[in-house]
Amino acid sequence: MSFILLMMILGQPGILVEGLNHGELLFRETGPMEFDIALALDSERVSEWHHFPLAFNPAKTFCEYSPDERTLEVISQMPFTADYVFAWYLVGESWDLTLIDEGEGDYYGDVSSEIELLLSRGLLNDAFQRAMEIMYPGSMPGAVEISAAFVTAAAEVGTPEAFGMAGEVSMYLLGVPIEDIPAMADPATAEQILERIEGHE
């Protein structure tokens, strides 16, 4: 039976499940950002409804089924941010779901750590490329700290190209030129930035 016909019968929207032929994750809203979910293969093979344990954003939810382990991974990205939540389910013989793990991903924290590591290794170009790939930069909690780290790194290199990259990162993450970063950073960081910039003037 086609998915469209299945949805007409059940009256529920669904999300494609990667790794499961014709599999769909059905969902129904029970409250603000709260949903029940069910796994469906066709009109006769539909699991029971289960309350998703965390916030759920149907517009940006990814599902993947592992046939070897018979597990279902559900990842849901929150609106207007790149942070996400995840839940792992064991899929039974009758296609019912048993929650085995859940949690919240820290996209911005992971990216910040990656950029800081690249900068500590002197890989300014690689760090710049990674920073300019950040999703929803306006929602990044550590944007000031990352921008300050780029200005500091640029001052250590001391080339116009390095300061140009720091300026692009500052505009991308914060919408301000690098001249404004010291005023936004904590006093110790601001002093360090100014000392290093002055040393290369």
Q: What is the pLDDT of residues 13-34, one digit of tens each?
A: 689 999 988 889 999 999 888 9
pLDDT at 10: 46
Whether the Cβ atoms of residue 115 and residue 95 lie closer than 8 Å to each other: no
Classified as helix, coil or strand, 118 is helix
Q: What is the pLDDT of residues 35-65, one digit of tens each?
A: 999 998 876 778 899 999 999 999 899 999 9
Q: What is the pLDDT of residues 115-128, one digit of tens each?
A: 999 999 999 999 99
Whether the model pTM is above 0.85 = no
Domain edges within the chain = 3-105, 107-199
Q: What is the pLDDT of residues 90-115, one digit of tens each?
A: 999 888 899 999 999 888 999 999 99
Classified as helix, coil or strand, 84 is strand
Phi, psi of 197 (to 5 degrees): -65, -45
pLDDT at 200: 52
Average pLDDT, the chain: 86
- Can you state the angle between helices 143-157 and 187-199, rounded to 10 degrees? 20
